[in-house]
Amino acid sequence: MNYSPSGVAHGSKGETIEQAIKFDKEGGINALVWHCSSVCRMQTFRFSSARFTSRKVDGSGGELKAQLPFKKLWDIVYDRITRVHNIHNIVWVCNTADSKWYPGNDKCDIATIDYYGNAGDHGALEDKFDELRNVTKSERVLALAEVGSIPDPELQAKENLPWAYWMAWNDEFIKDGKHNSQQFLKDTYNNKRVVTLDGTTKVKN
**Model confidence at 23: pLDDT above 70:** yes
- Helix residue ranges per DSSP H, 93-198: 126-136, 153-158, 172-175, 182-189
> What is the rounded distance in angstroms from the CA atom of residue 71 to the CA atom of residue 21?
29
pLDDT at position 47 is 45
pLDDT at position 193 is 94
**Model confidence at 109: pLDDT above 60:** yes
DSSP-based three-state secondary structure for 132: helix
Residues facing 111 on adjacent strands? 94, 142
**Model confidence at 36: pLDDT above 80:** no
> What is the rounded distance in angstroms from the CA atom of residue 195 to the CA atom of residue 174?
19
pLDDT tens for residues 83-97? 999 999 889 999 999
> What is the rounded distance in angstroms from the CA atom of residue 69 to the CA atom of residue 91?
22
Give 8 or 94, the one with higher predicted confidence: 94
Residue ranges covered by each domain of the chain? 1-108, 113-200
pLDDT tens for residues 126-146? 999 999 999 999 999 999 999
> What is the rounded distance in angstroms from the CA atom of residue 123 to the CA atom of residue 150?
8
pLDDT at position 115 is 96
- Residue of 149, 132, 148 whose CA lies nearest to 140: 132
- Please give the model's pTM, rounded to 2 decimal places: 0.81
In whole numbers, what is the pLDDT of the chain averaged over residues?
85
> What is the rounded distance in angstroms from the CA atom of residue 78 to the CA atom of residue 84?
9
**Model confidence at 35: pLDDT above 90:** no
Burial class (CB in 10 A: 0-12, 13-18, 19+), 50: buried
Phi-psi region of 86 (alpha: psi -120 to 50; beta: other; left: phi over 0): left
φ/ψ of residue 142, rounded to 5: -115, 140
User: Which long-range contacts does 196-204 make (Cβ < 8 Å, 24+ apart)?
Assistant: 197/26, 197/27, 197/28, 202/27, 203/27, 203/28, 203/29, 204/27
pLDDT at position 16 is 84
> What is the rounded distance in angstroms from the CA atom of residue 174 to the CA atom of residue 76?
36
pLDDT at position 59 is 54
